[in-house]
Amino acid sequence: MKRIICCLLLCVSLLNCGYSQPENQASDTRSEDRYPIIPRPAKLEPRQGNFVVSRTTTVMVPFANAELKTIAETFVSRLNTAGGLGVTLRNTNKMALPGNLISFIPSTNTQLGDEGYRLDIQPNLVQVEAYKPKGFFYAVQSLYQLLPPEVFSPQRVSQTVNWSMPACRIEDQPRYVYRGLHLDVGRHMFPVAFIKKYIDLIAMHKMNQFHWHLTEDQGWRIEIKKYPKLTQVGSMRNETLIGQYYDYDPQVYDKKPYGGFYTQDEIREVVRYAQSKYVNVIPEIELPGHSLAALKAYPEYGCSGGPYETATKWGIFEDIYCPYEKTFTFLEDILTEVMALFPSQYIHIGGDEAPKASWRKSPFAQNLIKQLKLKNEHELQSYFITRVDKFITSKGRKMIGWDEILEGGLSPNATVMSWRGIKGGIEAAKQNHDVVMTPGNFVYLDHYQADPAQEPIAIGGYTPLDETYSYEPTPAELNAQQAKYILGAQANVWTEYMRTPEYVEYMVWPRAAALAEVVWTPKEQKNWTDFSRRIQTHFARLKYLGVNYAPALYEVTATTKPLPNGQLEVTLNTKVPVSEIRYTTDGSEAGASAKKYDGPFTLDKTTVLRAVALPEKQYPQQGHPYRKEFLVSKVTGKPYQLANQPTRYTGGGGNALTDGKIGYARDFGTMAGFKAQDFSATFDLNQPTEVSRVMVGFGKSTFDNMLLPKALEVAVSDDGQTFRTIHTLPVDYKQRGQKSVVRLETRFMPVTTRYVRVTALNPGKTPADFAKPNQDAWLLVDEVTIE
């Protein structure tokens, strides 16, 4: 499980957006509208006119080139399925039928490389050139994207579709040789049909690597004939954690056995299918860590000998493979079967998050360190990885692993996958090792992509579409020679919370499309504004393909400003230009018939705001729904003084406790944090005001020592100097349960006052029966309202 630290953090700036409500900027003359290809070609020369595909169209291909003929047949089949066009396929050696022509022409120009191609589209002729079949395959992907999105329909569409391609000349080839997308099936696994669809989408975006994460602490997913208990026992777990790791204290489980694996026949089927799409499948067999499922099946390969249990929750576990000779035999046997199934040059061995506690406790491991004259357990891990690397190399393959394989010394032939930022990649490239860049903050697609309060559960973090698109895989710290070792980049999809294929698709697309452009398109050709318009047409393609993509690009966000009169001014924003924003303040759903947003508006009472952006183009028909409650009370926007400054969180600074915005359980970063001290704030109502109720929000996460106060006190004063307590609310601070924001309410007889002091008493230490007993307790304070 990568990103064990970053998954706990959320970017509190996720509501900062680039556009207020814009004018409609739609135009049919923009090149990104005429040529909405993703990834953007290296060179594209626009031309006037269009090539119209019709019943008179002939596709010419040399039948002697069987591989190329198959590519052309697939192209013609899609045209005829979606459009009912009756396009014919003919041998290049035969005379073409009357009408317009699409000609596939093998090129002798080696500069195009294996993946490059040329398209020359004129009103009556389309010429497709490539040096290798893979280049033709990618050329066809561009042809599809020059046609209407309906070309991806699995059935015939309306006869009114204009089946034309804009004239142009394209010369295209990728920037990087490695363009990857990953999928973890250890936490949750998915049907073969979905894996094939996943590969289809990889290929459609001109990516060429599918990294299949097949083994984990939570389940072993690949059949190994020599060790049948790996799937008979290791593929099953007794139950699965509900919610995020820190959502409940104590943790809660679904009490449902979970399991499954892919047979070797299914593996072969997937590999063959991927080959037909020019996608290489890289298997990952985790070692020496993330191996609990295997140790459950074969405990003799762990240092303690067990018993072990397949993990039912997420995280890092101490029990890993022990460096016995028999362990290496076991792993070599497994890898032998794996390599027989996967022709991939790369074999991924994980190598990440391998605690050394079991090795420190093991007399065998400690004696081995002495025997090999190693300095520590890190060098023992390097020895372990090097043993595996030598075996993989002896079979004519290359080992690839996560950047922890750098620790203790890098194995001579290893390729490094840099996930903990870019440091590991830089270090490996400087040592003349090949590198695939996959830093969590840019390309981990298990992160939230929009406001977490509006999104289904994710691991944490915040990686919106534009951040993924902004990624530059080649670090500036490398010189030209070192930069050659950067093979490309990969997006990773860890499935702790992705139980269904639909949810995987929601998290992956369109962010994976952004990475596809990052690794294909020349750096100087990248342009976010251009991409953000092309992706709108791309959404239509994904819709026809049945992909449950996320419309987060059209996320509406709201910024608030308290006004002197106690009202709250609300401004709605989007990151990209949209046709319009519609919103409601009565709790009803927002849609095309809701009130149109024309500029900032005010709220004079607590309100549930709903909004939705209507994109410029017809796809999608509406954007990402927004819902949030804003609090308005007699203290909204009023000044206050804190007796103690926040220890860790600042609450956003300024008037964060009276700005109308409330926090939520997935992001405590907007709250004010007080460690081992009380919270006390004095609010100035500016004039004598009748009050009878005070509410204060608190973040509760007892797993993190974030507790409710043991009491909430309200005191009032006419002069701001002398205060009298009018109400004390005792609170059960020992309550555990679900992580949440709890709004504590205290009511009292009406009193007229100018100053109100609200004090929350810190429990001091966590109770002895808590997950982390006798530690300093935190108070996390959210919005304060006074009525």
Cβ–Cβ < 8 Å for 631, 560 = no
DSSP code string of 363-410: HHHHHHHHHTT-SSHHHHHHHHHHHHHHHHHHTT-EEEEEGGGGTT--
What's the pTM? 0.93
Q: Is 77 helix (H, G, I), strand (E, B) or coil?
A: helix
For residue 625, count other CB atoms closer than 10 A to its CB: 17
Range 43-172 has CATH code 3.40.710.10 = no
Quickly state the pLDDT bin for 621 (edges 50, 70, 90): low
pLDDT surpasses 80 at 357: yes
Pairing of strands 88-91, 607-614: unpaired
Mean of the per-residue pLDDT values for the chain?
A: 93
pLDDT surpasses 90 at 283: yes
pLDDT at 96: 54
- Give first-to-last CA distance, the chain, whole Å: 47
pLDDT surpasses 70 at 8: no
pLDDT surpasses 80 at 651: no
pLDDT in tens, 105-161: 999 999 999 999 999 999 999 999 999 999 999 999 999 999 999 999 999 998 889
pLDDT at 207: 98
For the stretch 196-200, contacts whose Cβ atoms lie closer than 8 Å and that sit 24 or more positions apart, written own/partner, are 196/270, 196/273, 197/501, 198/504, 199/270, 199/273, 199/274, 199/277, 199/279, 200/277, 200/545
pLDDT surpasses 70 at 588: yes
pLDDT at 199: 98
Architecture of domain 640-786: Sandwich (2.60)
What gap in Å lies between CA 766 and CA 4, rounded to an integer? 24
pLDDT at 648: 76
For residue 555, give the DSSP letter: -
CATH of domain 176-544: 3.20.20.80
pLDDT in tens, 528-561: 999 999 999 999 999 999 999 999 999 999 999 9
- Location of structure tokens 């990969």: 490
pLDDT at 1: 45
pLDDT at 93: 74
Main-chain dihedrals φ then ψ at residue 407, nearest 5 degrees: -65, 130
CA 306 to chain centre: 35
Residues 6+ apart with CB under 8 A from 97: 56, 58, 88, 90
pLDDT at 142: 98
pLDDT in tens, 440-499: 999 999 999 999 989 999 999 999 999 999 999 999 999 999 999 999 999 999 999 999
Domain locations in the chain?
1-32+572-630, 43-172, 176-544, 640-786
Mean per-residue pLDDT, 36-44:
98
The crossing angle, in degrees rounded to 10, of helices 325-341 and 377-394 is 40
pLDDT surpasses 80 at 652: no
- Location of structure tokens 């009023």: 638
Q: Percentage of residues in the chain with pLDDT exceeding 70?
A: 94
pLDDT in tens, 153-210: 999 998 889 999 999 999 999 999 999 999 999 999 999 999 999 999 999 999 999 9
pLDDT surpasses 80 at 264: yes
What gap in Å lies between CA 329 and CA 638, rounded to an integer? 70
Angle at 30 between CA 29 and CA 36, to 5 degrees: 115
Could you tell me which residues are beta bridge partners of residue 43? 171
pLDDT surpasses 70 at 653: no
pLDDT at 620: 60
Mean per-residue pLDDT, 222-228:
98
Query: Higher pLDDT residue, 22 or 156?
Result: 156
pLDDT at 640: 92
